[in-house]
Structure 1
Amino acid sequence: MTISPDFSVASTTVTAALAAFLLIAEPWLGRRAYGSLARRRDAEPRALVRYFTFVLGAWWAYAAVAVAALLLSPGVDAADLGITAPERPVYTIVLIILFAAVTVASGRNFRGLAEQGKNVPGLSSVEAMLPRTGKERGLAVAVAVTDGICAELVYRGLLIAFGIGVLGLNSYLAVALSAVVYALAGSYQGRQGMAAFALFGVFFGGLYLATGSLLLPVVAHVALSLRDLTLPAPDKLRAAPAA
């Protein structure tokens, strides 16, 4: 992947403001919102609906800033943010099929572990977000899809372009920087969550560099989010035998 974005002053200002927000305010906001959800989840039936609505609004607001940064820079085109066809389409399609198969298989395994009451890796850190009703499940799907699209546009597309075009980093350092910022977004899941977010940030960034497009990272991200956010909630599983 080779890009050479030329950010205008206005676009640089907008992107820098968003990057600062993601670096400083967003981790605090994420911890506060998820902590509130965890406390209210059992007592307030609509707690998860409100939380998911807030998350959807936040993600699309971040994406809108990324689009604004693109529109404010004549020297930055959509391809500089990964909004383009993959450089190697056959390679990308094969990887999408393989990744989909692995995600489905791991999802079935996780669901089986959950139904047996066994430990599911990472489940405890997102337990409050797991849906218990049809409406919550529909919103969970919407959040998973939005998360995959908007997170890749912002963290991979915009931040990597900013690192290359404004900070003068090479593509690998720009991916590393975006992974660090992305890791902080997982602070609401604790240290293990931050480590997982960092690894996935590098992974998604690597997919982006390998294909020159956000298509594969978006598909991979959406698949993982769908797998995790549609696992059955522990309370639902405990109620199943009685039902």
Structure 2
Amino acid sequence: MTVSPDFSAASTAVTAALGAYLLLGEPWLGRRLYDSLARRRDTEPRALVGYFTFVLVFWWLFAALALLALLLSPAMAASDLGIAAPESPVSTAVVIVAVVAVTVVSGRKMHDLAEGGRNVPGLASIRAMLPRTAQERRLAIAVAVTDGICAELVYRGLLIAFGVGVLGLDLYAAAALSVLVYAVAGFYQGRSGVIAFAVVGALLAGLYVSTGSLLLPVVIHVALSVRDLTLPEPEPIGSVPTYEPAAKGS
């Protein structure tokens, strides 16, 4: 994969502002919003609906800014942001089928574990975002799809192009920088969240660089997000079953 993005002055300003927010503002705001949701989740019936609606609006705004950066740079091609067919369509299709199959199987396993009260690694850190009603479940799926599309366009497509075209980094250094920015977005889940985001971000950035397209990263991101955001809510840590004494016969 090779990209040679030519950012205009206006496009550079838009992308720099967005990148600064993602690096410095997003971790702080994400943590505050999630903590607020966790406090209100059990007392305000529509707390999660409001949270998901906010997330949807913000993500599509970020995607619009990424497309604006492209439109403001007449010399930059859509392929510089990963909006292109993969270099090997057949191999990509095979990987997509395999990833979806693995995600479905692992999702069923995780669902059974959660329903049975067993520990699912990482699930407790997103407990407040797990849906309880049909409306919340529909919004959760919408957020998962939006997250997969918009996050890949912004973090992989735009930020890697910015690193190459504006910062003068080589492709792999720009990809590493995008992983760093993406990792801090997991701060709302604590240190484990930052690590998890870094690992997933490195995987997705590697797939983008190796295929020259955002298609595979988007599909994997959506599949993982849908799987995780539709799992049953785990029991609170430290909770124990309540036993009723057997009624005595007269």
> Normalising by the residue count of structure 2, what TM-score does the alignment of the two structures yield?
0.93
Q: Distance in 1 between matches of 2:228 and 2:91?
A: 26
Q: 2:221 is matched by which residue type in structure 1? A: H
Q: Distance in 1 between matches of 2:125 and 2:53?
A: 20
Q: Distance in 2 between matches of 1:22 and 1:2?
A: 25
Q: Distance in 2 between matches of 1:207 and 1:98?
A: 14
Q: By how many angstroms is 1:91 displaced? A: 0.7
Q: By how many angstroms is 1:61 displaced? A: 0.8
Q: What per-residue deviation string (whole Å, max 9, x for no partner) do you get for residues 138-171 of structure 1? A: 0000000000000000000000000011111111
For structure 2, the residue ranges without an aligned partner over 5 or more in a row are: 240-250
Q: Distance in 2 between matches of 1:37 and 1:222?
A: 23
Map of 1:159 onto structure 2? 159
Map of 1:174 onto structure 2? 174
Q: 1:224 is matched by which residue type in structure 2? A: L
Map of 1:69 onto structure 2? 69
Map of 1:199 onto structure 2? 199
Q: Distance in 2 between matches of 1:189 and 1:224?
A: 16
Map of 1:241 onto structure 2? none
RMSD: 1.0
Q: What per-residue deviation string (whole Å, max 9, x for no partner) do you get for residues 107-161 of structure 1? A: 0110111011010011011000000000000000000000000000000000000
Map of 1:49 onto structure 2? 49
Confirm whether residue 210 of structure 1 aligns to residue 249 of structure 2: no
Map of 2:21 onto structure 1? 21
Q: Distance in 2 between matches of 1:56 and 1:178?
A: 22
Bigger radius of gyration: 2
Q: Distance in 2 between matches of 1:142 and 1:69?
A: 25
For structure 1, the residue ranges without an aligned partner over 5 or more in a row are: 239-243
Percentage of identical aligned residues: 70
Map of 2:131 onto structure 1? 131
Q: 1:36 is matched by which residue type in structure 2? A: S
Q: By how many angstroms is 1:77 displaced? A: 1.1
Which 4+ runs in 1 deviate beyond 6 A? none
Q: Distance in 2 between matches of 1:94 and 1:208?
A: 16
Confirm whether residue 3 of structure 1 aligns to residue 3 of structure 2: yes
Q: Distance in 2 between matches of 1:58 and 1:13?
A: 19
Q: 1:161 is matched by which residue type in structure 2? A: A
Q: Per the alignment, in what secondary structure is the counterpart of residue 34 of structure 2?
A: helix
Q: Distance in 1 between matches of 2:169 and 2:9?
A: 18
Map of 2:32 onto structure 1? 32
Confirm whether residue 107 of structure 1 aligns to residue 110 of structure 2: no
Q: Per the alignment, in what secondary structure is the counterpart of residue 234 of structure 1?
A: coil
Q: Distance in 2 between matches of 1:205 and 1:8?
A: 24
Q: Per the alignment, in what secondary structure is the counterpart of residue 168 of structure 1?
A: coil
2:123·2:234 contact (CA, 8 Å) conserved in 1? no
Q: 1:186 is matched by which residue type in structure 2? A: G
Q: Distance in 2 between matches of 1:11 and 1:128?
A: 37
Q: Per the alignment, in what secondary structure is the counterpart of residue 74 of structure 1?
A: coil
Q: Distance in 1 between matches of 2:77 and 2:131?
A: 39
1:117-128 to 2 correspondences below 5 Å: 117-128=117-128
Q: By how many angstroms is 1:234 displaced? A: 3.0
